[in-house]
Amino acid sequence: MPFIRLSVAKSISDETEQAVIDGLGKALSVIPEKDPQWTMVEVNDGLRLYFGGKRQEDMVFADVKYVGRQEFHKKRDFTRKACQVIHETIGTPIDRICLTITEFDNWGAVGDFRDQFFVDEK
């Protein structure tokens, strides 16, 4: 279950929000076993974002979290595609988009706890 939190300096329309969510889901599909239908996205727009101590009128920070470890090239491909989606849908310049990826070995979902390396035989 990937989770993406978008922090957007400017306000965006509902249509733009849906377009960026759809585009990020497609971009995420370059990472094996990451399905857009299981992706959770939180969008926060109209935020006061600062960079270098100065308020930014047009900046986006994307925080991406998912289970599993992926190779460098898959993460780079996703990052490039995600930044392009944000640029094309929201209009933010590429040099004003930041993205982090956090990879986890375990997670809780649908009322249970799972671990990538442990299978409970009960």
Tell me the per-residue pLDDT of 34-76, one tens digit each, with 9 for 90 and over. 888 889 999 999 999 999 999 999 999 999 999 999 999 999 9
Whether the model pTM is above 0.95:
no
Structural domains for the chain: 3-115 (3.30.429.10)
Burial class (CB in 10 A: 0-12, 13-18, 19+), 85: buried
